């Protein structure tokens, strides 16, 4: 897995970030596409992402439901650097580079 993540970073930084987030969280690409800046909770002792639920089954509206997924401190640091510095409302800004 480390070689796959490293290859992603070698190809393109944004691709590397996406591959690393997928590797650490186990998320599907459709879930990663719905991540928002406000989903990153990196200030506490245990950093995490509020990951959107997968849309499998569709028995209820899962599109807006999220669950906390622990991430490494190193990944939290990388993600904090990806947050747009000029965003007026970080909670409403999508992580478009992922």
Residue 92 lies in a domain: no
Question: What is the residue range of 20's domain?
Answer: 2-83
**What's this model's pTM, rounded to 2 decimal places?**
0.77
Residue 23 lies in a domain: yes
Q: Which phi and psi (to 5°) does residue 59 adopt?
A: -65, -30
The confidence band for 53, taking pLDDT boundaries of 50, 70 and 90, is confident
State the Cα torsion 87-11-16-64 to the nearest 10°.
60
Residue 97 lies in a domain: no
The pLDDT assigned to 9 comes to 94
Residue 17 lies in a domain: yes
The total number of structural domains that make up the chain: 1
Q: 74-95 pLDDT, tens per residue?
A: 999 999 998 875 455 555 545 5
Residue 96 lies in a domain: no
Residue 56 lies in a domain: yes
């Amino acid at each position: 897995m480390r070689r796959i993540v490293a290859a992603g970073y070698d190809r393109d930084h944004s691709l590397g970030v996406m591959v690393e987030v997928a590797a650490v969280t186990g998320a599907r690409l459709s879930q990663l596409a719905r991540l928002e800046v406000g989903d990153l909770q990196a200030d506490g002792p245990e950093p995490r992402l509020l990951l959107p639920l997968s849309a499998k089954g569709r028995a209820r509206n899962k599109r807006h439901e999220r669950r906390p997924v622990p991430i490494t401190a190193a990944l939290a640091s990388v993600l904090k650097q990806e947050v747009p510095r000029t965003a007026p409302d970080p909670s409403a800004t999508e992580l478009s580079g992922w």
